[in-house]
């Protein structure tokens, strides 16, 4: 059985020292090993942004896609080869701005993909612009007078789109983050794991200390029931979206693949769907 070290490769991440994304990478590698995967069972598909580089830093199948399009690619990979465990990943700008249409529909489609968002509340790769996750009043080069737009709540959107698995964590809490990724990988359907992953270079507001002061860990509420959709929505709103832990899970609803009529019976899932060169010659 593979250990987490076997999910490492020899590519050195070029993230800034202290970037939260290092811990997310480590958590994915640990979780993959803990649920019994081998590198050849896993595909990591990422979008564009600093965090999008993560697919190149994990020893597994990987594709560094285009901006905001990690999810269409990841869903295609999963439909083409249901034997693969598929992780999609990227940043808050990637998934909640240009990619938001895909995010909402992937959530309601409920294909068996684990989507890990590294949420640093800014655009890091392009050197610090306001993202949909930035707070009102947030000053960057793109909003020098402070953002006048409302902050987007991915957790509320996920819940209202019919999500079957919603979790949130903090990159420094490696134990919680690893456990949540394990649960996401085991979940039969689409799982959203939003991770507060500070950008130490460009976001001087939402720092490690800021997150530590503002995060509300669900462990504080021993009676919290993550299968209660209304309670989940209430808790997200009460904590202004700052809660961490397993927020909601619906194990009753079947995944998209399991609802496609005839998919199992025809063996479509196991067919070789690759196209022969002859196919292209005929086009
Ligand atoms: Fe991480 Fe920010 Fe550096 Fe990008 S710019 S690698 S998000 S710390
Ligand atoms: Mg970002």
Pocket test for ligand 1, best of 16, 48, 172 (most atoms within 8 A of CB): 16
Per-residue pLDDT, averaged over 210-233, amounts to 98
Q: Is 19 close to ligand 1, i.e. is its CB under 6 Å away?
A: yes
- 15 in ligand 1 pocket by Cβ < 6 Å? yes
Burial 7-44 (b: 16+ CB within 10 A, else e): beeeeeeebeeebbbbbbbbbbbbbbbbbebebeebbb
Judge if the beta carbon of residue 200 lies within 6 A of ligand 1: yes
Token pair, residue 72, equals 């269409």
Q: What is the DSSP string of the chain?
A: ---GGGGB-SPPP-SPTT-THHHHHHHHHHHHHHTT--GGGEEEEE-SSTGGGGGGGBSSEEEE--TT-HHHHHHHHHHH-TTSEEEEEEEHHIIIIITHHHHHHHHHHT-SEEEEEEE-SSBTTTT-B--TTSPTT---SS-TT---SPPP-HHHHHHHTT-SEEEEEETT-HHHHHHHHHHHHHSSS-EEEEEE---TTT-SSS-HHHHHHH-EEGGG-TT--TT-HHHHHHHHHHTTT-EEEEEEE--SSPPHHHHSTTTTTTTGGGS--PPPHHHHHH-
pLDDT of residue 235: 98
Q: How far, in Å, CA of 185 to CA of 189, rounded?
A: 9
Nearest protein CA to atom 6 of ligand 1, as residue: 15
Per the CB < 8 A criterion, the answer to whether 233 and 214 are in contact is: no
pLDDT value, residue 27: 98
In the prediction, which pLDDT does 261 show?
Answer: 78
7-19 average pLDDT score: 97
Which pLDDT belongs to residue 91? 98
pLDDT of residue 272: 58
**How do residues 232-275 score in pLDDT, each as one tens digit?**
999 999 999 999 999 999 999 999 999 987 776 665 555 555 55
Q: Ligand 1 pocket, 124 CB below 6 A?
A: yes
Which numbered ligand comes closest to the C-alpha of 20?
1
CB 129 less than 6 A from any atom of ligand 1 = no
Q: Which ligand is nearest to the CA of 92?
A: 2
Every domain of the chain and the residues it spans: 4-256
Ligand 1 pocket, residue 120 CB under 6 Å: yes
Q: Provide the Cα torsion 66, 140, 131, 74; round to 10°.
A: 30
Q: What is the pLDDT of residues 145-194, one digit of tens each?
A: 999 999 999 999 999 999 999 999 999 999 999 999 999 999 999 999 99
Q: What is the CATH number of domain 4-256?
A: 3.40.50.970
Separation of alpha carbons 81 and 238, rounded Å: 40
Residue 83 pLDDT greater than 80, yes or no: yes
Q: What is the mean pLDDT of residues 81-103?
A: 97
What would the mean pLDDT of 58-86 be, rounded to a whole number? 96
16 pLDDT exceeds 60? yes
Which has the minimum average pLDDT: 88-97, 179-188, 273-282? 273-282
Per cent of the chain over pLDDT 90 is: 90
Is the predicted ipTM greater than 0.90, yes or no?
A: yes
- Nearest protein CA to atom 2 of ligand 1, as residue: 199
Residue 203 alpha carbon, nearest atom of ligand 1: 2
Mean pLDDT of the chain: 94
- CA of 159 from ligand 1 middle (Å) equals 29
Interatomic CA distance for residues 152 and 149, integer angstroms? 9
């Amino acid at each position: 059985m593979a250990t987490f070290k076997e999910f490492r490769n020899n590519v050195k991440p070029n993230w800034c020292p202290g970037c939260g994304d290092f811990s997310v990478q480590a958590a994915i590698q640990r979780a993959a090993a803990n649920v019994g995967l081998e590198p050849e069972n896993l595909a990591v598909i990422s979008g564009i942004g600093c965090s999008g580089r993560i697919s190149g830093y994990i020893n597994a199948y990987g594709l560094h896609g285009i901006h905001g399009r990690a999810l269409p690619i990841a869903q295609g990979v999963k439909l083409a080869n249901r034997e693969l465990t598929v992780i999609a990943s990227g940043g808050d700008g990637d998934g909640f701005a240009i990619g938001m249409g895909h995010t909402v529909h992937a959530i309601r489609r409920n294909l068996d993909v684990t989507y890990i968002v590294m949420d640093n509340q800014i655009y890091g790769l392009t050197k610090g612009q306001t993202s949909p996750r930035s707070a009102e009043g947030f000053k960057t080069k793109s909003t020098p007078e402070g953002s006048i737009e409302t902050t987007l709540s991915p957790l509320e959107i996920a819940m209202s789109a019919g999500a079957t698995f919603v979790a949130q964590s903090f990159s420094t809490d490696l134990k919680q983050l690893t456990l949540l990724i394990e649960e996401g990988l085991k979940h039969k359907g689409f799982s959203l794991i939003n991770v507060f992953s500070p950008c130490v270079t460009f976001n001087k507001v939402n720092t490690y200390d800021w997150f530590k002061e503002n995060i509300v860990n669900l462990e504080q509420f021993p009676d919290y029931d993550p299968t209660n959709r209304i309670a989940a929505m209430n808790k997200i709103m009460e904590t202004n979206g700052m809660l961490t832990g397993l927020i909601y899970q619906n194990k009753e609803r079947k995944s998209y693949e399991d609802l496609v009529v005839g998919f199992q019976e025809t063996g479509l899932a196991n067919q070789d769907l690759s196209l022969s060169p002859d196919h292209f010659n005929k086009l």
